[in-house]
Amino acid sequence: MRITCSVHAASRLVTYKLDQSPTWDEINEFFKEVQGHPDFEREFNLLGDHRRIDWVPGNADLRRFAADIWGQVEHLGHCRWAVVASTPTSLAVIRLLGLLTHGCGIEIAPFSNPREAVTWVCADSGNRRGLEAVH
């Protein structure tokens, strides 16, 4: 799978990394893997590393992904999802995804700096142990 992930129970955090753009099946498999992990609980925050890809989906694909996220709220719960990206286009796409999912309970934000992403995603619960989970 193009998505590798880890569940950090003590930090209430899921971290993942993309080495190349995933397929829809891989995205769905990722969600199933996370939700089926024995240490996962609803309302864990997510921290994604997208720096190796330049994700530029078309309008229909972006809206489909936003709809999929709205559908995951029941399983993921309310949480923060920080995405680290390296190109202005990828950052803009993640920002747009955050707008399309605004109000669903999953707050998505783009970052170019991994440290800032960790600080933001862990600030939600005041959980500073999340800093240790990814560094």
Cα of 40 vs its chain's centroid, Å = 14
What is the Cα 105 distance to its own chain's centre?
Answer: 13
Q: Domain range spanning residue 103?
A: 3-134
Is 50 exceeded by the pLDDT of residue 135?
A: no
Give the domain CATH number at 74. 3.30.750
Count of CB atoms situated within 10 Å of the CB of 96: 17
pLDDT digits (tens, 9 = 90+) for 88-130: 999 999 999 999 999 999 999 999 999 999 999 998 665 545 4
pLDDT of residue 58: 86
Q: What is the pLDDT of residue 1?
A: 60
Question: Bridge partners of 109?
Answer: 82
pTM value? 0.89
Please provide the DSSP assignment of 53-113 as one string: ------HHHHHHHHHHHHHHHHHH-SEEEEEE-SSHHHHHHHHHHHHHTTTSSEEEEEESS
Residues linked to residue 108 through DSSP beta bridges, in sequence order: 81
Report the domain count for the chain.
Answer: 1
The residue written with tokens 């747009």 in the block is 96
